[in-house]
Chains A and B, each alone.
Chain A
């Protein structure tokens, strides 16, 4: 039987700055600004902002997602080694140029400090840096499923160079190491967790099995699976097998 141990190695980021190109060293992450030529036609602009811890009194469009920055180093999903950054995460926010928010039931636009509760499992910690990835669509663009995929894929592509560096970072220098197993307890009641996720269409979608943990690329939409159930081992689930959309 294949080795079912998953090692997640955590690299703590203590500073995030803009620079000419991506780099990662000594707990410091450097990211570039978006070059306007790379923006999809349907976008008016993309603003990347670095938000320092405790400086969250900034305006935000509706928050679509909070994305951890992780990469697969060795093995397949749920096994081997994954590297992840902590102390920093990306939030994807969006609207169109007329201020119409990209959201479903209720928009979280407003002041970031008031619209996002920190220190939850799904949100950054209070001492974290936040990379705010704000997409502004052209006014005539329809906010449909295709559009959402474009927005999320573009944000995912922005993170990929960080993942490439993180992939090559020596695991020996990780700040924390976590090891997980799919432990069985024979003779005890067999229990399953069922996660019912959105898959009605347009923005109600989830991506399964992306190439990178918590990524988009290479993933399969639950809508394309006709919303049919999929079984994941605990370790596969822990290894970032699901990316939420909006």
Chain B
């Protein structure tokens, strides 16, 4: 499956996660927290975990979310499905994922245009260089900016 060295998120990456750093420091959003979700092998479970994420956000009255993946390939199915489930709950959703030239979507839907590419390599491929295509603070800022625009376009109501 598709987790290569250049996109792999190490333990250190989670500890210093640029998404949490950027989202946690913006006074213009109310940052509720981080949901960690896995990628099951089984299709029934794949559907179920995506739905559970969406229902959880709905229950927290969340206006917008960013979904980020530590891999690509078959996990795109989980990724696009989770985006769809969240979108169907009228929650604004944007994605961050390695795409480049090698990892164009295995599956697409109406949410695909709101996925930003974190590729950094000139070749657009899995370079096997640890950390090279990792999500960084700039990607996090881009995602936050896009999410703000998306929430405005979706006319999200803040309670």
Contacts and interface: CB of A to CB of B under 8 A. Distances in A.
Interface string A167-193: 000000000000010111111111111
A141 interface: no
Contacts, number: 277
Contact of A116 (B17, B129, B156): B129
A115 B128 contact: yes
Interface size class of B (residues with CB under 8 A): 35 or more
Contacts of A67: 10-12
B66 interface: yes
Contacts of B117: none
A165 to B, nearest CB: 20
Given A192-B32, A227-B37, A228-B52, A244 B128 contact: no
Contacts of A62: 5
A234 B1 contact: no
Contacts of B35: 192-195, 229-232
A156 B63 CA distance: 39
Contacts of A94: none
A96 interface: no
Q: Quick one: which of A62, A114, A195, A208 has the most chain B CB within 10 A?
A: A195
B15 A190 contact: no
B94 to A, nearest CB: 10
Contact of A193 (B20, B49, B82, B130): B20
B29 A185 contact: yes
Interface in A128-163: none
Nearest to B70: A197
A67 B39 CA distance: 23
A37 to B, nearest CB: 28
Contacts of B27: 185, 188
Given A188-B30, A194-B68, A228 B37 contact: yes
Q: Quick one: which of A62, A103, A213, A234 has the most chain B CB within 10 A?
A: A234
Nearest to A196: B69
Interface in B31-87: 31-41, 45, 49, 52-53, 56-57, 60-71, 73, 75, 78-79, 82
Given A188-B29, A194-B82, A198-B38, A117 B10 contact: no
B28 interface: yes
A63 B20 CA distance: 25
A66 B11 contact: yes
Interface string A90-119: 000000000000011111101000111110
B99 interface: no
B58 to A, nearest CB: 11
Q: Quick one: which of B6, B17, B151 has the most chain A CB within 10 A?
A: B17
Interface string A58-97: 0000110111101000000000000000000100000000
A212 to B, nearest CB: 11
Given A117-B132, A194-B66, A199-B40, A229 B56 contact: yes
Contact of A190 (B34, B60, B79): B60
- 7 closest pairs, A vs B, by CB? A199-B38, A227-B38, A122-B13, A108-B5, A120-B131, A189-B63, A123-B131
Interface of A: 62-63, 65-68, 70, 89, 103-108, 110, 114-118, 120-124, 180, 182-201, 204, 206, 208, 213-214, 222-223, 225-234, 236-238, 240-244
Interface of B: 1-6, 8-20, 23-24, 27-41, 45, 49, 52-53, 56-57, 60-71, 73, 75, 78-79, 82, 126, 128-132, 134, 136-137, 147-148, 151, 156, 158
Given A63-B5, A110-B128, A182-B33, 14 more contacts: A63-B130, A104-B1, A116-B130, A189-B156, A193-B65, A194-B37, A197-B70, A198-B1, A198-B39, A204-B1, A214-B15, A229-B37, A230-B36, A244-B8
